[in-house]
Structure 1
C-alpha cells in the first residue's frame, strides 16, 4: 500500500535526482500535513498561498496562468527551459483520494531570447528553436472522492477517476488505468520532453517498484485509454 509519507519521500528523492541531472534550475520542497478535523493527509508544495489553487478556476489565458504560477512559486520544480512541474496528492484513511500532476511549458521561452547560442548549440534545445513548436500543458488528475450523498464524483467515460487532460480543454479527459506515482509522472515527462538521442536523462531517476491499483471503469476499457506499466 502506498501512503502519503511514501509519496512525500518519493518527491523529495526525485527532486534531488533531477537537480543532479542538470535539468532543474529552481525547486520548492514538498510538504505533508494532516487536514484539520479529517482523516485526510495532503502532500503539497511548500510556501504556497492558501488561495493558490483557486487560480485554476479562473478563465484566464494560459500565458497569464503560467506567470502567476511562476510568481507565486507554485511548483515543485522549474525545469531548465522554464517549464513548471506540480505534484499534489490527498490521501484519506491511508488510501489515495485525489491527485493533480501538472506540466506547464514556458509559453515565451525567454531563456532562448537571453541565451540563443546555448539553445542553438546544445542538443537538448534543438526542438525548442523549431518554429513548429506548440506550447501545450498536460495534467494527470485522479479523483476517487464522493459527494455529501456518498456518490462518486467520477462517472464512466464522462469523468474517469484517473484521466489525462491535454491543454486547458475543459472536457478533455482521456481515461488512465490508475493513479500515477511521482516516479511514473516524472519519468513520463522527462522521457517525452527532455531525453535526447545522446543523453538519456531518465537514467538519472531511480525506479520505484510501487504502483497504485487499477481504477479504470470497465466501459473505459473499450475506448482509447492510457495504460500504466507495472514495474
Structure 2
C-alpha cells in the first residue's frame, strides 16, 4: 500500500494536536513543514551525521541551523520528520533528539532574572544562548529514531520498519507496521514524557484521543515483510 506525502503531512498535523492536548509547548520550523524532506536539512548537519562527530555537536548543529520540525523549549528536545522516494522506493525517518545539556527552559531562565516572557519576549535570547553553550552535559542521553526503508530491507537481518533506541544504531526493534508521525509522537509521549502522559490519560476523552493517535493506518507491503520476518521477534498492533 502506497503512502503519499499528503497522508504523512496530515498525521504530522495530528502529532501537533497531540502535543497541544498534552499542553506541551513547541516551536515549529515552518520552512520544513510543507515538504518533510531531509533535503531541507543543512549540509553541515548531514555531514555531521555521517562523520565521527560526538552527539552534543550534532545536536547543537541541528538546533543552531534549525534542522528540525518541532522544538520543545521546556527541555530543548527536537523532532525531525522526513520522507522521500529513492529509486521508486519509500524512505521514512522520524527522530526525537534529546538535549544533551542540563539546561533550564528560556522561560525559567527569564524567571530567575525577574522577567517574564510576556514582558520581554526574545530580548534576552542571546544571553540565554550563552548560558546554554556553557551548560554541563547530561550523563545519559536516550535518542529515539524510526526508520522505514524499502531499499535497505534484508529478510531476518534489516527490517523495513524499525525503531532505534540510543545514540548508536545497535538497538533495532522490528515493527510489523508503518509508523506515521502521529504514531511516533504518541510513542514518545507515552515513553519519554511518562509523568505528563500518566496524568493526561486519566480523562476518558484524552485517553481516546491518545489511542486514536496510536492507530495503525498503513501495513507494510508483503514484499518488505516476509513470512519469516513475521515469525521473528516483532512488535504488532492489531
Normalising by structure 2, we get a TM-score of 0.68
Distance 1:167 1:50 in 2: 24
Native 8 Å contact 2:45 2:61 kept in 1:
no
- Rounded Cα–Cα distance in structure 2 between residues aligned with 1:86 and 1:31: 13
1:64 equivalent in structure 2: 57
Q: Does 1:84 align with 2:78?
A: yes
Return the structure number with greater helix share.
2
The structure-2 alpha-carbon separation of the partners of 1:99 and 1:7, relative to structure 1 and needing over 3 Å to count, comes to same
Mapped partners of 2:216, 2:178: distance in 1: 12
What is residue 192 of structure 2 aligned with on the other side?
A: 193
Q: 3-state SS of the aligned residue for 1:156?
A: coil
How far apart are residue 115 of structure 1 and its match?
4.2
Name the CA distance, whole Å, in 2 between partners of 1:143 and 1:81.
Answer: 30
* Counterpart for residue 158 of structure 2: 159
Which of the two has higher C-alpha Rg?
A: 2
**CA RMSD in angstroms, aligned pairs only:** 3.4
SS at match of 1:169: coil
1:164-210 deviations in whole A, cap 9, x for unaligned?
21223234322211221111111111111124232349656583556
Q: Could you give the per-residue CA deviations for residues 46-78 of structure 1, whole angstroms, max 9, x where no partner exists?
A: 964355433321211111111111111111111
Contact 1:14 1:183 in 2 (8 A): yes
Q: How is 1:170-189 mapped onto 2 (pairs within 5 angstroms)?
A: 170-189=169-188
Which TM-score applies when normalising by structure 1? 0.70
Contact 1:176 1:216 in 2 (8 A): no
- Deviations 1:203-230 (Å, cap 9, x if unpaired)? 5658355622234333333332222x25
State how many pairs are aligned: 197
Q: Which has the higher contact order (CA 8 A, sep 6+)?
A: 2
Q: 2:143 aligns with which of 137, 143, 148?
A: 137
Q: Does 1:106 align with 2:63?
A: no
Tell me what 2:121 maps to: none
Deviations 1:92-145 (A, max 9, x none): 79x8701011111111130179949x9xxxxxxxxxxxxx98321111111113
SS in structure 1 opposite 2:145? Answer: strand
Give the 3 Å change call, closer, same or farther, for CA 141–111 of structure 1 in structure 2. Answer: same
The answer for unaligned runs of 5 or more in structure 1 is: 33-42, 119-131, 146-152
Mapped pair 1:226 → 2:219: no
1:20 to 1:166, Cα distance in 2 relative to 1, 3 A: closer
Alignment correspondent of 1:31 = 34
Q: Distance in 1 between matches of 2:169 and 2:15?
A: 30
